[in-house]
Amino acid sequence: MLIRLADALHAASSVDDTLWAELKTFYTDEQLIELVMLAGLYHAVSYIVNTTKLELETAAPHFDNYANN
């Protein structure tokens, strides 16, 4: 369900009432707001990193290392 939340936020910057109701069976309103804010934070970080062409840390794992596994 969290992946569906992330997909909805990515695709439409919104969550439909059906998914929100499903999420509310597992999470409090406060937790849901925090999840939406967390998704927004990661989105903002990706804007900064991509726009400034920030170099990756050499010791940090890279996503391309996991794509082939």
pLDDT digits (tens, 9 = 90+) for 37-54: 999 999 999 999 999 999
Contact indicator for 5, 23 with CB cutoff of 8 Å: yes
Domain positions in the chain are 2-67
Position 62 pLDDT exceeds 80: no
Please return the burial class of 11, using the count of CB atoms within 10 Å of its CB with bins 0-12, 13-18 and 19+. Answer: exposed
Average pLDDT over residues 4-17: 96
Average pLDDT over residues 12-19: 96
Sole residue written with tokens 């409090």: 28
* pLDDT reported for residue 63: 73
pLDDT digits (tens, 9 = 90+) for 22-42: 999 999 999 999 999 999 999
